[in-house]
A and B are shown apart, each in its own frame.
Chain A
Amino acid sequence: MSSRMIPGTTPTVISKNSLIQWLDQIASQMRLIAPRDIDGNILYRQVGNAAEITWDYTRPVLSIKDVFFPPTEVLFTIEKIGNEVNIRETSPEGEQVLFGVRPCDAHGLQALDALFIATQPIDPYYMRRRENTTLVGLACPEMGATCFCTTMGGAPDDPRHMDLMLHAIEDVYLLEVVTEKGAFLLERYPLVIEPGIQPNTYIRPEITTERLAYPALDSWPEQFNQLYWEEIAERCLSCRACAYVCPTCRCFDVRDEIQSEQGDNKVYERIRCWDSCAGEAYRRIAGGHNPRAAKGERLRNRFYCKYYYFPQQYGPAACTGCGRCIDVCPAGVDITEILHFMAGIAMVEKQAQVEVGRI
């Protein structure tokens, strides 16, 4: 590339070929994480070259959350030799590029940042990964059946929260430089622009979207004691699938576990791993009392946390409308149904709208 690309300037048109070359170049020199097809499941994993990347996906089964906040991470190791104790902090992965990020997932980082970085104490593990990672977004070709990102203030081609943004248009890509970090990556790994591809001649396709009703923040407290929560929770199985696929659910548990033991030489690890309020033991306290013992109370907490507690405490809502929880729920709990209930729209009306083809 001849001149330095500056954030906010006109997007450049690049061919898929040069995009692949660029990704190969990155993968050969640092960690490249991208969507991979693993035994029929699309997941963000490290790739050795661009050929391992899957391009045919709406949104991977798990969000990009686990790149920054892995399901289990070792915080530090405690080595005990005789009476001597050594504590070693875990060093995080080096620089990495995360490719193929969907706007809803990048939007999810806003909520995680609000908690882990903007609020004291800062989480050093999360922050280091965040600093070390450049996000290369790829706009969604369409909205999936369960997606509702537009309701949550996002869009299928939203470049916010990305460092670089790509839009696939027929067989070429439109590259947008969003942040300085993105510009820096392009400087280090320049893109080869093939002759013959005229920049600025492509118009972004219109993505038509419909918004769902979104309840006002102050409508939540008065609904707290509704019987409704018990009703919708009846079918809930109290598994944690919804929380673990969610791009913003961020609860964790910290434990010390023994890693190896050889005579007097013992190695322990302090690990933190994902946890979820859906589990029965999550809220159990000393003495065995459980303030959220009922299924309805636990499920209610999930939605209040997303749309009421979190925005109140940290600003953004803890939901990006990715719709993963709707897809994975084995019992058919649907988060959009809750939004409609809160906005005072009966599902019967909603169904009628579906039938007449308005949605």
Chain B
Amino acid sequence: MYEPKIIAFLCTWCSYTGADTAGIARLKSPANLRTVRVPCSGRVSPELIMRTFDQGADGVLVLGCHIGECHYDSGNHRTAKRLPVLKTLLTFAGLEEERLRLDWVSASEGEHFSRIVTDFVDTVRALGPVRWRVDRREFNPSYQRAPALQSSPHASFSNATLEQQTLQLRQTAQELLDSGQVACVIGYEQDWRGRTRPTFVYHPEDTSRLVWNQDCTHNLTGYLNHKLHQLPQAGDGQTNNRVAVVVKACDSRAIHVQLAEKSYTRDQVYIIGMACQGIQEKARYDGKVHTQQEPVLQQRCIQCTDRNPVISDILIGDLKKEAPISTGLSNRSLTLTQLEAKTPSERMDFWLSQFDRCIRCYACRQACPMCDCPTCLYERDDSLWVGAAHGWDGVGLNEKRTFHLGRAYHLAGRCIGCDECERACPMGIPISYLNQMLSQEMERSYNHRAGVTIIPTPLVTILSGEEGVQ
């Protein structure tokens, strides 16, 4: 019979002693456990668990103190929040959910410890050897032909509205710069090829460059932090370091999250909100020449209910909140629900074949308005959590998967669904599935939708005291 390798992270204050108690009482428990003693179950980071599976563990057991008994008051409350989210994510990526378990054991509960361990080992044993770690010598990617794009609603843009909004936008920007209220306006312009792209306007006479159209896809809030730190500080003579930014409804939610996370203060930004009719899908470069097709709405816009930004200093245009064009409809031939309904093994195949294409250019991370760590955890010189490898046919695939899943986890409850990551990806990896799945999970578990108001993310920051309470 297959004997699984199980790694158990035990809190030194309770479950580790609980294991001792079980030993002293001479209770029988399986010998499959390799124990790691930690100061608190809250110390067990998602990276630790992912990398444990990457090293070949068949199951990971995290045991902490009962709720209300944490040596550090609230460490286990955090565990109670994090672990279920991580479990959802790993399950989505193709791990059987029974392979990761969180439970509570106090120092005196030797019998309880023994029972949990026996049960967990039996469960994992029944599942057989884990399929998670990728060995590049055995990796056999399941390349697939491109699935046909489904038809999706054609976008019908009111050009008159767009033109009027552009004129009003230019006028607003001019006034703001003229009066010295802001030092810079971050907006959109068209380049000589006619492509819309981000632009930075500093002088009133340059405001004629600004445009507002159905191709304003970029989320400009990602530039705010950098720009605010680059400009001379306020109070420095006559300079004003306030920055104006043009936002759509989705982008405005990013501002809420950034404010909640204290990236900058409200008075440092002037928000020019644009009523938005939706953005059209631009054919991503995939190696072919694309012929001009009828404009099609982007995936995020099909599901969007907001038309006006949730926060703004001035609103240009005004559109009624609309029901999503369709909730079930997708631009893709594979919807999130369909992907979730697949077997763990099929999901594993799906994600491995997707991540195998990743070249670690980090465009997803760089384009994300929420990814603003000065040094990314996954790109440290000391390769703390992930190595530097990024080939294909399995080379560096464990590293790439840890990066993508880890990044998605860090965005849980923070991702506002602008899909910039997926748009920026040159390799066509459908990253937004991960973010959408976790957004759903956060809404289901915590009734939390990122950026709708200025509230800190419940997953990492806020504890209600109810965590883990049955």
Contact = CB atoms under 8 A, between A and B. Distances in A.
Contact of B359 (A39, A62, A347): A62
Interface stretch (A2-10, A164-172, A331-339): A331-339
A37 B145 contact: yes
Interface residues of A, number: 58
Nearest to B146: A40
Contacts of A239: 361-363, 365-367, 424
A356 interface: no
A273 B388 contact: yes
A331 B363 CA distance: 10
B423 A281 contact: no
A57 interface: yes
B408 to A, nearest CB: 18
Contacts of B365: 239
* Residue picked from A73, A234, A255, most chain B C-beta under 10 Å: A234
B97 interface: no
* Residue picked from B285, B389, B392, B395, most chain A C-beta under 10 Å: B285
A104 B208 CA distance: 38
A37 B388 contact: no
Nearest to A271: B389
B143 A144 contact: no
Contacts of B366: 237-239, 330
Nearest to A257: B387
A271 B361 contact: no
A37 B191 contact: no
A109 interface: no
B147 A244 contact: no
Nearest to A348: B192
A56 B362 CA distance: 28
Nearest to B143: A38
Nearest to B148: A40
A71 B147 contact: no
A348 to B, nearest CB: 9
Contact of A61 (B285, B289, B383, B424): B285
A71 B390 contact: yes
B428 interface: yes
A21 interface: no
Contact of A40 (B195, B286, B379, B423): B286
Interface in A6-56: 35-43, 45, 56
Contacts of B198: 234-235, 331-332
Contacts of A237: 222, 363, 366-367, 424
Contacts of A337: 191-192
B287 A57 contact: yes
A330 B424 contact: yes
B383 A255 contact: yes
A145 B197 contact: no
A184 interface: no
A59 interface: yes
Interface string B125-150: 00000000000000000011111000
12 contacts: A36-B143, A39-B357, A41-B287, A70-B395, A71-B396, A73-B391, A239-B363, A239-B367, A253-B388, A273-B390, A328-B285, A330-B420
Interface of A: 35-43, 45, 56-62, 70-73, 142, 144-146, 231, 234-235, 237-241, 243-245, 253, 255, 257, 271, 273-274, 276, 279, 281, 284, 324, 327-328, 330-332, 334, 337, 347, 350-351, 354
Given A72-B390, A234-B223, A276-B361, 7 more contacts: A39-B147, A41-B286, A61-B426, A61-B427, A71-B360, A244-B359, A271-B388
